[in-house]
Amino acid sequence: MSDTIAIGALRELTEHGIHVPDDVRLMGFDGIPFSDCANPPISTVAIDVPAMARTVIDCMVTLIESNLRHERPDDITHDHIQFQVMPRTSTLAA
Q: pLDDT category, 94, cuts 50, 70, 90? A: low
pLDDT digits (tens, 9 = 90+) for 52-81: 899 889 888 888 888 888 887 766 667 788
Nearest 10 degrees: CA dihedral of 56, 57, 62, 67? 100
Q: Is the Cβ–Cβ distance between 71 and 51 less than 8 Å? A: no
Average pLDDT over residues 1-15: 95
* SS3 category, 49: helix
The model's pLDDT over 16-51, given as tens digits with 9 standing for 90+, comes to 999 999 999 999 999 999 999 999 999 999 998 899
- Per DSSP, what are the bridge partners of residue 50? none
With b for 16 or more beta-carbon neighbours within 10 A and e for fewer, the 57-79 pattern comes to: eeeeeeeeeeeeeeeeeeeeeee
